[in-house]
Copies of this chain bind each other. A is one copy, B any other.
């Protein structure tokens, strides 16, 4: 039994590099994602009343090169050396590669491509296809008492950032989350991260990330 999903919208943001995507959503993030509807779904009526909701759910597609499913995966959160069942994780290696993210709705914008939704807290790569947008309903969706298995047992401490100015808030947010590929810890290695047309070179020593260079991409 199968059904087909149609892309209803595309997410646009500065995350052109998957390593820049926050591993934990940023609750009060300066980083905006713009949801632009595909031509056939560019109908303002379909958004009537959505501005009354502070949060939305996005159902979205994992990138095409990650669609092979695996019964077990190694969550980065567990250091990459412990296997968990894929249904106990939010890993992309699922039978149906659909992601689910709660985002904050900042505003509805009139654009040349119809109404767009501007959200924050989205852990999506630029260009991600969106399959559904649902309102976040507090009484059915918010379970602050929930116990979250292995996720509750480990923390991602934020890194201290050296070498960027105070007003580069978006970049700071991304770097604080430790954008290194999982399971790497070599203090001399220089990593590069693309974000919004710039490349950031950095290294990480202990709990501090040192920005070595910021260059504009051509």
Question: Which residue numbers of A lie inside 8 Å of B, CB to CB?
Answer: 1-8, 24-25, 41, 43, 45-55, 57, 59, 61, 71-72, 83-90, 94-98, 100-102, 129, 131-152
Min CB gap A57→B, angstroms: 6
Residues in B neighbouring A61, C-beta threshold 8 A: 3
Residues in B neighbouring A142, C-beta threshold 8 A: 142-144, 146
- Which 6 pairs across A and B sit closest by C-beta, in order of nearness? A52-B149, A48-B85, A49-B88, A54-B147, A46-B71, A50-B88
Tell whether A98 pairs with B50 under 8 Å between CB atoms, given A142-B142, A142-B144: no
Nearest B residue to A75, CB-CB: B49
Complex-state Cα separation, A135 to B148, whole angstroms:
7
The reply to whether B50 and A3 contact each other, CB–CB distance below 8 Å, is no
